[in-house]
Structure 1
Amino acid sequence: MTDSPGEDQVAEPVEAPRPGVSRRGLLGLALGAGAAGLAIGAGAGAATAAAVGRAQQAQDAASAYDFFGTHQAGITTPVQDHLHFASFDMMARTDREDLVSLLQDWSYAASRMTQGLDVSATGAIGGSPEAPPDDTGEAQGLAASGLTITFGFGPTLFENDEGDRYGIAAQRPPQLQKLPAFLGDDLDPEHSGGDLCIQACADDPQVAVHAIRNLSRIAFGRARLRWSQLGFGRTSRTTAAQSTPRNLFGFKDGTANILATDDAALDESVWVAASDDPSWMAGGSYLVARKIAMLIETWDRVRLTEQEAIVGRDKGAGAPLSGGDEFTEPDFDATAKDGTPAIPVTSHVRLAHPDANKGIQILRRGYNFVDGNNELGRLDAGLFFLSYQRSPEQFVTLQRSLSTDAMNEYIRHVGSGIWAVPAGAAEGSYVGAALFA
């Protein structure tokens, strides 16, 4: 199963999106705030750089994913190398029409940007020279670079302290609740939650940043950016062709992740079924985001054998400590020479394994992050964990199982959020249309 259009499309909405961006969206394009730039380093030699550039352009041009389809792209899509994740809150005094028009405008812009186009037909240079351009322009000349844009709805969108702002409280999924407190949480409220979220993934960091920058401008007057996170170096894989990446602790991560070709596992563990409640979420999923700070300097002083015991895998090959290669199933009954379990009972691999959690699986799409250094001069770095699951209870069960994880000594959960991710939009429609039908 892939995120490309399938035979089963979501039902046509009551109100189809207007072609192009609404007047308020255009106002946002004109008045939105600027964004940070990203620099790309130059190659060592002109000839080599040119050859590499041509090869990369050919690869990027072949990596354009359709925004429309049965499921939203960016879930089972081959995991890209870069992420820009953003959380938004709806503005005060906005109404249902504002929310619907925002989702329509975002869907239209996303459908263009994922094909390597500007957010509108006039784009960065085709409009009036006396007005701000529709598109910010930093992606001019760049290919789609595998860009996927995935939208989610947080619990507070349905109801917050102000009540049912948009007339959708009755449609809130029963399982879409703020995550419970977990052992070791040190959450920053300013880096948690949000009414809406956007996950932009691409193989070029500038393409991902461009997407969030322009969607933020379009939201002007209707939604404001609450927090965002840049990520690099994927920490999981969703296809067998992808190699298993390494996290900032130096270990292979995501070896046993659900793959896009495993339809049975996806139906069982990732996609919301038509029989699940509510029906408008059929074909969707639930996204959990956790910003996990890694105590890098402390970890770097730990003996190799202890690091491997904490993780439960060989650091070089990625094989479980019970033997075999990276993809060998862990043998939790195997013992070491001293008679103790070969895979320690407090290891991450043992505690996170489906055998220890009633067969529960989730689909991971995490990224490394480095946000400079903290006030102590240490790296502000870690894992931006993203997982998709059919029910949030799957994540809650796994996280509680990890309460005795030896790795907890070296990590801190500092940000958190949960969102309902609707099914993909039918062509000519918009994401989340079924919620308003």
Structure 2
Amino acid sequence: MSQEGAEVSRRKLFGWAGAGVALAGAGAAAGVGVDRLGTASASTSTVDFHGEHQAGIVTPAQANLHFAALDVTTSDVGELRQLLREWTDAARRMTAGQQVTADGAVGGAAEAPPTDTGEALDLPASQLTITVGFGPSLFDERFGLAAKRPPQLVDLPVFPKDKLDPARSGGDLCIQACADDPQVAVHAVRNLVRIGFGVTQVRWSQLGFGRSSSTSRAQQTPRNLFGFKDGTNNVKAEDTDVLRDQVWAQAGDGQPWMAGGTYLVARRIRMHIETWDRESLAGQEQIIGRSKGSGAPLGQTGEFDPVDLDVAGAGGVPVIAEDAHVRLASSQTRGGVRILRRGYNFVDGSDGVGHLEAGLFFLAFNRDTRTQYIPMQRALSSKDAMMEYVQHTGSAHFAIPPGVTPGTSWGDGLFA
């Protein structure tokens, strides 16, 4: 057997063993056997890289995230196009559980740097997905792409109460790697960054753990660092009509090359958890608009009971307060507009004054950020009672191109 064949077999063997242990008791709740709208088969622990849409959007959210935004340092359009081809090829292999190249970490010449960094050797693919996007700043004069900029890819405004750090905002390109093993996700970003040396450089990055939303009905609703179930009413992979209308870009939206793609909003949200922890249970529930235990909307009994904004309590006062997070973010309040959330918790040490640097790395996909995310965030920033306990410290916006087929790359539509 060739070295490459032995490598694939060995990786699959580990994948079968890991999946068998992890999934034996989880069954359908873990998304076993779901097609590409779901995860991967239990036998390989892989998610199909090819398809109409990029993986890592409606794919049931994995346990870990490594996200990086990069600046393009070259002004040579040919180098940028070649990089996107190389990134696509490398991602195609890594998501299949292979090393970046056939020679990989140990098979090449001893006198040369390895073509794979090696920290994912012997690890299964862990349902790795790699999703790539283009920021507004990529469409400047450097590469002649101004006419290709989608009208939906606006520069995000500074919202009320934002305290944005330029070092945690923006970027020409983004890489989102999600996996059930954190080392697999880190390995993916590390190797794409390595391939981009001399063409790109990292502007900022973020590690995330403990998904803060569900993107499939097969998943249980997780809890955020405030202890509340998060993303109960999120758009799910099974909501194909909603995805078509609210998430996936269409050919008639302004840039045909984006058909099948979407727009990603990334916001780093610092949560002042020490202040929150001193708030009463009743106060916390009023701020969120849900029961902390069951996750049910106030006035209801079950987590998935519809939010009823008209339920009144004593004296006719609405049970869900006018400044409750649930009310302000509800599609009922927003004229039916929805977004697909895919965020993660983070804890980045301490802030130097005795508080944890912790929060939510908010990721959301929508068809038109101008009419979906931006109006919602304006309302939340100015009216949401929860704003006393959170602060947005990073902000970025990316066009996520459609998926690829064998032999094509992420940049093909952009440079066609």
SS of the residue 1:106 aligns to: helix
The residue that corresponds to 1:56 in the other structure is 22
- With over 3 angstroms needed to count, the CA separation of the structure-2 counterparts of 1:319 and 1:57, relative to structure 1, is closer
C-alpha distance in 2, partners of 1:155/1:352?
A: 26
Letter of the 2:408 counterpart: S
Contact 1:357 1:401 (C-alpha < 8 Å) held by counterparts? no
Structure 1 residue corresponding to 2:393, chosen from 391, 414, 429: 414
The residue that corresponds to 1:117 in the other structure is 98
> Is 2:225 the counterpart of 1:248?
yes
Contact 1:61 1:143 (C-alpha < 8 Å) held by counterparts? no
The residue that corresponds to 1:436 in the other structure is 415
Contact 1:61 1:145 (C-alpha < 8 Å) held by counterparts? no
The residue that corresponds to 1:42 in the other structure is none
> Is 2:105 the counterpart of 1:139?
no
1:57 Cα offset (Å): 8.8
The residue that corresponds to 1:154 in the other structure is 135
> Is 2:291 the counterpart of 1:309?
no
Contact 2:19 2:43 (C-alpha < 8 Å) held by counterparts? no
1:338 Cα offset (Å): 3.9
1:56 Cα offset (Å): 3.3
Give matches, 1:18-417, under 5 Å.
55-56=21-22, 61-91=43-73, 93-159=74-140, 164-393=141-370, 394-402=372-380, 403-417=382-396
Contact 2:135 2:170 (C-alpha < 8 Å) held by counterparts? yes
C-alpha distance in 2, partners of 1:196/1:75?
A: 17
1:337 Cα offset (Å): 2.7
C-alpha distance in 1, partners of 2:23/2:378?
A: 44
1:54 Cα offset (Å): 5.9
Cα RMSD of the aligned pairs, angstroms, is 1.4
1:53 Cα offset (Å): 8.5
1:175 Cα offset (Å): 2.1
C-alpha distance in 2, partners of 1:116/1:243?
A: 26
Letter of the 1:201 counterpart: C
1:102 Cα offset (Å): 0.6
Worse-superposed segment, 424-433 or 150-159: 424-433
Contact 1:61 1:144 (C-alpha < 8 Å) held by counterparts? no
Give the aligned length: 382
C-alpha distance in 2, partners of 1:432/1:361?
A: 28
- With over 3 angstroms needed to count, the CA separation of the structure-2 counterparts of 1:435 and 1:286, relative to structure 1, is same
Letter of the 1:197 counterpart: C
Cα deviation, 1:340-381, whole Å, max 9, x if unaligned, reads: 111111000000001111111000000000000011110000
Structure 2 unaligned residues grouped into runs of 5+: 1-16, 25-31, 33-41
Contact 2:19 2:45 (C-alpha < 8 Å) held by counterparts? no
C-alpha distance in 1, partners of 2:311/2:154?
A: 40
Contact 1:69 1:427 (C-alpha < 8 Å) held by counterparts? no
Worse-superposed segment, 128-137 or 309-318: 128-137
C-alpha distance in 1, partners of 2:200/2:18?
A: 40
1:269 Cα offset (Å): 0.3
C-alpha distance in 1, partners of 2:379/2:44?
A: 41
C-alpha distance in 2, partners of 1:332/1:262?
A: 23
Letter of the 2:319 counterpart: A
C-alpha distance in 1, partners of 2:331/2:385?
A: 18
Contact 2:263 2:366 (C-alpha < 8 Å) held by counterparts? yes
- With over 3 angstroms needed to count, the CA separation of the structure-2 counterparts of 1:221 and 1:294, relative to structure 1, is same
- With over 3 angstroms needed to count, the CA separation of the structure-2 counterparts of 1:53 and 1:62, relative to structure 1, is closer
C-alpha distance in 1, partners of 2:183/2:223?
A: 23
C-alpha distance in 2, partners of 1:149/1:243?
A: 23
SS of the residue 1:385 aligns to: strand
Contact 2:105 2:115 (C-alpha < 8 Å) held by counterparts? yes
- Percent of pairs identical after alignment? 57
Q: Which aligned segments of 4 or more residues in structure 1 are displaced greater than 4 angstroms? A: 51-54, 57-61
Cα deviation, 1:288-340, whole Å, max 9, x if unaligned, reads: 00000000100000000000000000000000002120001111111113431
1:436 Cα offset (Å): 0.8
Letter of the 1:76 counterpart: V
C-alpha distance in 2, partners of 1:269/1:418?
A: 17
- With over 3 angstroms needed to count, the CA separation of the structure-2 counterparts of 1:172 and 1:306, relative to structure 1, is same
Cα deviation, 1:98-132, whole Å, max 9, x if unaligned, reads: 11001000000000000111101111111111211
Worse-superposed segment, 173-182 or 307-316: 173-182
The residue that corresponds to 1:23 in the other structure is none
C-alpha distance in 1, partners of 2:22/2:192?
A: 26
SS of the residue 1:356 aligns to: coil
The residue that corresponds to 1:424 in the other structure is 403
- With over 3 angstroms needed to count, the CA separation of the structure-2 counterparts of 1:331 and 1:115, relative to structure 1, is same
Contact 1:57 1:143 (C-alpha < 8 Å) held by counterparts? no
1:134 Cα offset (Å): 0.5
Letter of the 1:147 counterpart: L
1:52 Cα offset (Å): 7.8
Structure 1 unaligned residues grouped into runs of 5+: 1-50
